[in-house]
A = this chain, B = another copy of it.
Amino acid sequence: MPAEIERKYLVTGSEWSDASAPSVQIRQAYIANTPLASVRVRIKGTTSAFLTIKGADAALSRAEVETAITVAQAEELLTMRQGAVIEKSRFRVPFGGLMWEIDVFEGENAGLIIAEVEVPTADHAVELPPWVGQEVTGDARYYNANLASDPIRGA
């Protein structure tokens, strides 16, 4: 059973951009959110797309099933979405031996920048980069599903 353990922070500085690889453009939306699962469709760039179902039973460690679909299928699924389409640019930045993913939101969440890092265990010590601020792991306002229904304007 694959499981992800992720920690999430608001981004307050901009020094990360020096160390970043070129970004990928992400468009995603939610087909459904139930008490047990979220159903997400995501288009990365112009050629790849994924359908992802995540268990909703815990904040940090969640079961996940992901399958590749065609961009045409993803576009069709977007018409069945709940809430808005989230648009963001994703940058990958190595720091402290881990790979950080920085999402720069556009559209209705423009101004919001979030950094996520996947850790091997829930109690793994994370060396914090100087450009992160408040930790928002488990804060429902920053779940992508909620950013689709209740956008947040960044600073």
**Least distance between A97 CB and chain B CB atoms (Å):** 30
For chain A residues 64-82, which have a beta carbon within 8 Å of chain B?
65, 67-69, 73, 76-77, 79-82
Task: Choose one: B1, B39, B73; the contact of A39 (CB below 8 Å).
Answer: B39
- Per-position contact with B for A32-58: 1 when CB-CB < 8 Å, else 0? 111011010000000000010101100
Task: Report yes or no: B81 in contact with A36, Cβ–Cβ below 8 A.
Answer: yes
| CA A55 to CA B76, docked complex, whole Å | 9
Task: Report yes or no: B65 in contact with A67, Cβ–Cβ below 8 A.
Answer: no
Copies of this chain, complex-wide, total: 2
* Interface presence of A152 (CB below 8 A): no
* Interface presence of A119 (CB below 8 A): no
* A residues apposed to B, CB below 8 Å: 1, 31-34, 36-37, 39, 51, 53, 55-56, 63, 65, 67-69, 73, 76-77, 79-82
Please give 5 more A-B residue pairs, beta carbons under 8 A apart, in addition to A36-B79, A53-B77, A67-B68: A1-B76, A31-B32, A51-B67, A55-B80, A63-B76
Give the 8 A-B residue pairs with the shortest CB-CB distance, closest first: A32-B32, A37-B80, A36-B80, A65-B73, A32-B34, A67-B67, A39-B39, A31-B37
Can you list 13 contacts pairing A with B, beta carbon distance less than 8 Å?
Answer: A31-B32, A31-B36, A31-B39, A31-B53, A32-B32, A32-B34, A34-B82, A36-B81, A37-B77, A39-B39, A55-B79, A63-B79, A67-B67
